[in-house]
Amino acid sequence: MSKNALIIVDMLNDFIRPEGALYCGPAAEAIVPFIAERLEHYRNSSQAVIFLKDSHQPNDLEFDKFPRHCVAGTWGGRIIDELTPGPGETVIAKNRYSGFFNTNLAKVLRRLSPELVEVVGVCTSICVMDTVGGLANRDYRILVPRRGVADFDRQFHEFALKRMQQLYGAKIQ
């Protein structure tokens, strides 16, 4: 068994649920069963699971670009019930696109020293891609399963997959 890590990006009510403030659409809902399968696999094989969670203050400047979403402590900012973190799983709140910006993700990954980091979640062209870029900059081997990522915009989704493969060296499967 190889020692890998699964990063689940922003699988939060505001992005995944139709009543969410920044609903990513049916494509986001459709990836939930696949991510649940990957999560179960990592749990069953005692491999690391890291949840990245968009978490904003009510006056965050990001709301100049996007509707108000994932405000800390609200329903919208909670991880969806199907993917509730388990004991010992890491949850990292972030307030920017990359999971590395002003967080302890780099430290957590250094401690884990994974052979491969698998990344799933939303949005492919924003938080997933920026986090994958941070992984590439730190020389991690990266896997991004197509069935595990979704975006608001299909063209941006496809562009992001292509960019992560060609520029960051991520394996897209």
In tens, the pLDDT along 141-165 reads: 999 999 999 999 999 999 999 999 9
Given a contact cutoff of 8 angstroms between Cβ atoms, the answer to whether 14 and 56 are in contact is no
CA distances in angstroms from 41 to 3, 52, 111, 127, listed in the order given: 13, 18, 21, 23
Reported CATH class of domain 4-172:
alpha beta
Report field, pTM of the whole predicted structure over 0.95: yes
Q: How many CB atoms lie within 10 A of CB 125?
A: 22
| pLDDT higher than threshold 60 for residue 1 | no
Residue of 22, 24, 42 lying closest to 34 (CA atoms): 42
Residue 58: what residue type?
Answer: P
Q: What percent of the chain has pLDDT over 90?
A: 98
**pLDDT tens readout for residues 88-126:** 999 999 999 999 999 999 999 999 999 999 999 999 999
Given a contact cutoff of 8 angstroms between Cβ atoms, the answer to whether 128 and 152 are in contact is no
